[in-house]
Amino acid sequence: MADSFDAVVIGGGPGGYNAAIRLGQLGLTAACIDKRGRFGGTCLNIGCIPSKALLFASERFEEAKKDFGKLGITAEVGLDLGVLMQHKDKIVGELTKGVAFLFKKNKVEGIVGEGRITAPGQIEVRAPDGSVRTIAAKNIIIATGSDVMPLAGVTIDEERIVSSTGALSLKSVPKRLLVVGAGVIGLELGSVWRRLGSEVTVVEFLGRITPGLDGEVSKAFQRILAKQGFTFHLSTKVTGVEKKGDVLAVTVEPAAGGAPQTLETDVMLVAIGRRPYTEDLGLEAVGVARDTKGRVITDPHFKTNVPGIWAIGDCREGPMLAHKAEDEAVACAEHIAGRAGHVNVDAIPSVVYTAPEVAVVGKTEEELKAAGIAYKVGKFPFSANGRAKTILATDGFVKILAEAATDKVLGVHIIGPEAGNLIAEATLAMEFGASSEDIARTCHAHPTLTEAVRQAAMAVEGWTMQS
């Protein structure tokens, strides 16, 4: 057990563990500290992975009830929530153990405890038993991630008033679920419980759902979700919640002010965003600068204002996404090792894992208009894609935005089946600076959903084969 390392990472999420592993691969001595007791961070423990396990299972449950009959399959469908949760927990256990294995393989020391920077090059780790160890590090990477954004006046108990963490482990299917915030978490976890039988009501402060998405996609998304049974209260804010026996009385009022109204529910999910987790780390003492949102400020190479201290992932600027944290981790480790690391911030995809999925990379129409960039649009609906018809998933479309002057792809927006997988092609195209014609003239296998991407690219120049 060394007490001096080339680099020490605080935080063992996708940012932290990937940085530590890459440092090890590059021949540096590295350690990774996490207070959770299990490596993998938010993503593996209480985020991406458990939520996708529930989304997968609940989607199969709904498909079995809704679609099997259309395919001539007869089956008696029931739900054992305990087994479903075991499926989720098993995967989380396997993946978090996998991180510990990768640490060993790459000679990274995994340290369980709470890390605090006490001086440049020095970290104190408080172990769960209270013992304190001081570690010297030539480089320190802050990868402490993010935490749930609290809602004023509402106390989360993780049983009836839950954050995403509680919503991943409800003990029974609530009859009614009220979601505060029509963002990614609200719609993904809202979908899980709606499919399992809850009546889901979503209260959103702004006038539209998923505010960061392209407006046309967001509108189509809301329409599809409403058809599935979601109820939306837009331009509405929650001002309080009261426990009345088994019922929660939630007070809401128009965002712009107005008469309050009470909505009754059994469980309330607070999903109004996440905030960087940068408190109690000793940052003030060593002088590491943060912005007004509490994010650690870095240059594009992840260096903070204090030499030898770096930051990556959710605790710095940019989308709070696991793959963004992972890419920054690798680039940061490479910089520390004296190599050139780079993350193309214009080509980071983002996916909402509902059914249909929504996936985007690059600019929205609204962003291009605001930037004064002239663009062309190509669109293709999944209702005209043969493969989509065979899998009973024809809702949605692919939309490609290309620069008018050069035909360079500037944004791709997909709402439809397998959108999260389809976006990889668009991301690669953007990484390579492709034109829409490059995609349109690339042979795509038939019959696949990828043909919808190609047809949207063809539509940019008006030669799509849509009937």
The footprint of ligand NAI (CB under 6 A) covers 151, 180-186, 188, 203-206, 211, 237-238, 271-274, 319-321, 350-353
CB of 294 to ligand NAI, least distance (A): 15
DSSP 233-244: E-SEEEEEEEEE
Residue 277, helix vs strand vs coil: coil
Among ligand NAI, ligand FAD, none, residue 352 binds (CB under 5-8 Å by kind)? ligand NAI
Q: In the complex with ligand FAD, which residue's Cβ is closer, 138 or 323? A: 323
Q: Would you mind telling me the total number of residues written for the chain in this entry? A: 467
Q: Considering CB distances under 5 to 8 angstroms, the limit depending on partner class, which of ligand FAD, ligand NAI, none binds residue 272?
A: ligand NAI
Query: For residue 69, what are the contacts with CB-CB under 8 A and spacing of at least 6?
Result: none
In the complex with ligand FAD, the residue whose CB is nearer, 407 or 418, is 418
Q: What are phi and psi of 303, to 5 degrees?
A: -85, 135
State the minimum distance, in angstroms, from the CB of residue 277 to ligand FAD: 5
The entry of ligand FAD, ligand NAI, none near residue 277 (CB within 5 to 8 angstroms by kind) is ligand FAD
Q: Give 43 or 179: the residue with its C-beta nearer to ligand FAD.
A: 43
The two counts, helices (H) then strands (E), for the chain are 14, 22
Dihedral over alpha carbons 271, 275, 276, 280 (to 10 degrees): -110
Nearest approach, Cβ of residue 188 and ligand FAD (Å): 7
The 3-state DSSP class for residue 403 equals strand
State which residue, 184 or 398, has the beta carbon closest to ligand NAI: 184
Tokens of 31: 């350690």
What residues contact 199, with CB distance under 8 A and at least 6 apart? 175, 176, 177, 229, 231
Q: How far is the CB of 239 from ligand NAI (least distance, A)?
A: 9
Could you tell which of ligand FAD, ligand NAI, none binds residue 176, using a CB distance below 5 to 8 A set by kind? none
Q: How far is CA 165 from CA 160, 238, 293, in A?
A: 12, 20, 22
Closest C-alpha to 324, from 337, 311, 306: 311
From residue 29, alpha-carbon distances to 24, 122, 339, 340 in Å are 6, 15, 16, 19
Omega of the bond leading into 254 within 30 degrees of 0 (cis): no
Between 88 and 116, CB nearer to ligand NAI: 88
What does 145 bind: ligand FAD, ligand NAI, none (CB cut-off 5 to 8 Å by kind)? ligand FAD
Q: How far is the CB of 204 from ligand NAI (least distance, A)?
A: 5
Name the residue with the smallest CB distance to ligand NAI.
183
Binding site partner of 204, from ligand FAD, ligand NAI, none, Cβ cut-off 5-8 A by kind: ligand NAI
Q: What gap in Å lies between CA 350 and CA 327, rounded to an integer?
A: 14
Q: Is 446 a catalytic residue?
A: yes
Torsion of CA 455, 411, 271, 16, to 10 degrees: 110
Q: Is 57 helix (H, G, I), strand (E, B) or coil?
A: helix
15 or 396, CB closer to ligand FAD? 15
Tokens of 5: 């390392």
Interface positions with ligand FAD (CB under 6 A)? 10-16, 33-36, 41-43, 47-48, 51, 114-115, 143-146, 164, 185, 277, 281, 313-314, 320-323, 325, 353
CB-CB contact of 113 with 126 (8 Å): yes
Percent helix, strand and coil across the chain, each to the nearest 5: 35, 25, 40
14 binds, among ligand NAI, ligand FAD, none (CB under 5 to 8 A by kind): ligand FAD
Question: Looking at beta carbons only, is 4 or 262 nearer to ligand NAI?
Answer: 262
Query: Measured from the CB of residue 398, what is the shortest distance to ligand FAD in angstroms?
Result: 21
Q: Shortest gap between Cβ of 40 and ligand FAD (angstroms)? A: 7
Catalytic positions: 446
